[in-house]
Amino acid sequence: MDAKNIIAEGRSYLGIEFGSTRIKAVVIDGDGNVLATGGHSWENRLEDGIWTYTLDDIWGGLQDCYSDLVRDIKEKYGITPTKYASMGFSAMMHGYLAFDRDEKLLVPFRTWRNTITEEAAAKLTKEFGFNIPQRWSIAHLYQAILNKEDHVSSIDFVTTLAGYVHYRMTGKKVLGVGDASGMFPIDSSTKDYDSAMMDKFDALIAPCGFGWKLKDVLPASISAGEDAGTLTEEGAKLLDVSGNLASGIPVCPPEGDAGTGMVATNSVGLRTGNTSAGTSVFAMVVLEKPLSKVYEQIDMVTTPDGAAVAMVHCNNCTSDINAWVGLFKEFGQMMGYDIDMNDLFTKLYSKALDGDSDCGGLLSYNYISGEPVTGFDKGAPLFVRTAESKFTLGNVMRMHLYSALATLKSGLDILINEEGVRVDKMYGHGGYFKTKGVGQSFAAAAIHAPVSVMETAGEGGPWGMAILSSFADNRENGENLEDFLNRRIFADAKGSTVDPSPEDEKGFDDFMKVYMEGLKIEHAAVEVLS
């Protein structure tokens, strides 16, 4: 069947993901081929010291994104979609959305980017013997309790952004296990919240007398492919303001951007890994065995079907690069040039290949916000050089691209060097990898392993979410997610693989020695500028 008939007959699959700077929709056929896309740009805002998005941001952005998708379908095929075989919603993980019994948002949405839960994260890590990062939902909840915030006693429901959108679409308070693993630790043997740790948390807060237990306020954890409800009439009208979308469409379990990234890169099997590099950056590896001890730099999450994953997550990646590219564009416009941003990014990224392998002695920190992996609750973007540094455009761009991965590399070195974790396949996706061969080469040097980028990598998380909706509809005889991906989606996948250059590996390692020592400079900058 051609694309027009697939969409018209409701045989296509819809995935929508709320990224940090863009909400994106992707429609695919059952084999993962992209039929149409839509998007909406948005930005978080800093209000009263909290990084947040308003409810109007969420719903206005979703509706505009879906309307943009409908426009794309009309332009390509001359039809208006009214149904899909299945659909799903994903979003940036973690954060804190708390509601009372009347579904009133009790405090503004606290996103993953906030580093305001240091006390709670440290106490829970010690109590559980399990690393609880600051951005996790349970850290936000416990910090609110420690702060004696009035709203806590009124909590009826706590969820993530994906879980909230799914609830409004279906009426079901559920989360895909991958997204749930960023709220509270998961027991991979049960694919549910760790019951012993839940008991410990309930004991911690028992003296407060809130009248609720943790299990009561968290969404249910379910695995990829399981029943997660259907689109209600209210949900259909909320998503499609034109009123053309029918209710009753199956909606698969909502997931986090980590899970959709694993799906989009076919890295849900043992000893596979992926690196997602955009506004934030994370890398994850599906483990063969548990780590020997707790590391504050490493999160333990799961795949969308519950397998244990070691994850290094950093708050900052390409935002500082984007700011510098914007500066170059402003200069070009001042000189009278009409500059295409895609062309500018490509040329500047490519210029980094001309830089010295150690960036010629240049050093930068891309900390737009705090960076818990290296111990910062606030950030200050910083560029440092000496009189002897080789101050060239190639070195400046290579420095920024190295800096974007440097904090990530500091965490991955623990997995590789101290835990002996083995990775057979590492995939890259996200804006950092869009310029062919550049980010890929530097990531390979950082990880000391080959890095592959597939042709589909540009679609990223929303494509992965659409695939999860297809999995819920097309799995054969109970097959697992890995087998489905290999059989149905990636059997004929095309891409490129870059092996690490020994010169770049040494250069990146030399850069890291200065980078880690230079964190003292960043601490001073944060202290003075704050």
**pLDDT tens digits for range 143-163:** 999 999 999 999 999 999 999
Least confident segment among 299-303, 445-449, 493-497:
493-497
As a whole-number percent, the residues of the chain with pLDDT over 70 amount to 99
**Is residue 456 pLDDT above 70, yes or no?**
no
Domains along the chain with CATH numbers = 3-256 (3.30.420.40), 264-315+412-497 (3.30.420.40), 319-409+502-529 (no CATH)
Q: What mean pLDDT do residues 57-84 have?
A: 98
Residue with tokens 């455009």: 393
Query: For residue 370, what are its two tokens?
Result: 């705090």
Q: What mean pLDDT do residues 2-21 have?
A: 96
Q: How confident is the model at residue 459 (pLDDT cuts 50, 70, 90)?
A: low
Residue type, 429: H
**Is residue 1 pLDDT above 70, yes or no?**
no
**Is residue 432 pLDDT above 60, yes or no?**
yes
Residue 382 near residue 421, CB atoms below 8 Å: no
Q: According to the model, what pLDDT value does residue 158 have? A: 98
Which tens digit of pLDDT belongs to each residue from 242-298?
999 999 999 999 999 989 989 998 999 998 899 988 888 989 999 998 899 999 899
Q: What mean pLDDT do residues 401-424 have?
A: 93
Which tens digit of pLDDT belongs to each residue from 330-376?
999 999 999 999 999 999 999 999 999 999 999 999 999 999 899 99
Which tens digit of pLDDT belongs to each residue from 172-230?
999 999 999 999 999 999 999 999 999 999 999 999 999 999 999 999 999 999 999 99
SS3 string of 327-385? HHHHHHHHCCCCCCHHHHHHHHHHHHHHCCCCHHHCEEECCCCCEHHHCECCCCCEEEC
**Is residue 458 pLDDT above 80, yes or no?**
no
Task: Point out which residues pair with 45 in neighbouring strands.
Answer: 52
Task: Point out which residues pair with 38 in neighbouring strands.
Answer: 25
**Is residue 402 pLDDT above 70, yes or no?**
yes
Spatial CB neighbours of 511, under 8 Å, sequence gap ≥ 6: 358, 359, 363, 399, 402, 406
- Residue 458, burial from CB neighbour count under 10 angstroms (0-12, 13-18, 19+): middle
Pair type for strands 363-365 and 299-302: unpaired
Q: According to the model, what pLDDT value does residue 394 have? A: 98
Residue 225 near residue 191, CB atoms below 8 Å: no
Spatial CB neighbours of 35, under 8 Å, sequence gap ≥ 6: 3, 6, 7, 12, 27, 28, 29, 73, 76
Per-residue burial over 102-122, b if 16 or more Cβ lie within 10 Å, else e, is eeeebbbbbbbbbbbbeebbe
**Rounded Cα–Cα distance for residues 492 and 484 (Å):** 13
